Amino acid sequence: MQTRTNSEWLNDLRGPDQDQAIEDLRKVLKRGLIYSLSSRIKTDLETQVDDFVQDAILRILDKLDTFRGESRFTTWAQKVAVRVAFTELRRQRWKDISLEDLMPEDSGDFTPLVLADPSPNPEKRATQTIMTEMIETMLKEDLTERQRTAMLAIMKGGMPLEEVARRMDTNRNALYKLLHDARKQMRESLLEKGLTPGEVIEAFEI
């Protein structure tokens, strides 16, 4: 496989030699992904990597105009491929878990993963209980159903943003806006109760 400069990669991927350039890029990406994912994927590594590479190449061809030449082209392309691979691996991890599975039952306990303290003292435990009940009430009463669903999926379940967006039939930017508005509403509700977000976080620090 010939060695190319950044300009040569761009020209070949856009020009009459595109097929050969794509095949050469495929080999580079596959070699890098197999090295990166060998400790994470135990079965069908090569098959899955081939799929990731195919998706990555489509993404790279679509984003050629965004390459600024601040690194080697193959380094930039490899980062795109790794991002594609890890996004898909996260999606696979969550494919059998529904958003409903992450919603608390009316009588169930709600404790976001980010607020869990495995060994609080009695005084701190009491404070945490009050804070948790307050947050749960805010989630139920101050947020819309979509805001609540998104916040719980991420806060309690730890589901990746991309997967939450897919499950809610929206896109990443729209989900960011939804979460931003939800956090703003919860911050205002805390302030109305005489608390700040920092005081809530402090109550759950280990």
**By CB neighbour count within 10 A (0-12 exposed, 13-18 middle, 19+ buried), where does 67 fall?**
middle
Given this model, what pLDDT does residue 2 score? 67
Given this model, what pLDDT does residue 108 score? 47
The answer to whether 4 touches 15, Cβ cutoff 8 Å, is: no
Given this model, what pLDDT does residue 113 score? 44
Question: How far apart, in whole angstroms, are the C-alpha atoms of residue 122 and residue 154?
Answer: 28
Given this model, what pLDDT does residue 26 score? 92
Q: 10 Å Cβ neighbour count for 178?
A: 21
Domain ranges of the chain: 6-94, 100-203
pLDDT digits (tens, 9 = 90+) for 91-135: 766 655 555 554 555 444 444 444 444 555 555 555 666 666 677
Residues in the chain, pLDDT under 50: 102, 106-117, 206
Give buried/exposed letters for 87-122 (b at 16+ CB in 10 A, else e). ebeeeeebeeeebeebbeeeeeebbbeebeeeebee
CATH pick for 6-94 out of 1.10.357.10, 1.10.4080.10, 3.30.230.10, 1.10.1740.10: 1.10.1740.10
Q: Which residues contact 150 (CB under 8 A, 6 or more apart)?
A: 164, 168, 175, 178, 179, 182
Identical fold at 6-94 and 100-203?
Answer: no
Structurally, at CATH architecture level, domain 100-203 sits in Orthogonal Bundle (1.10)
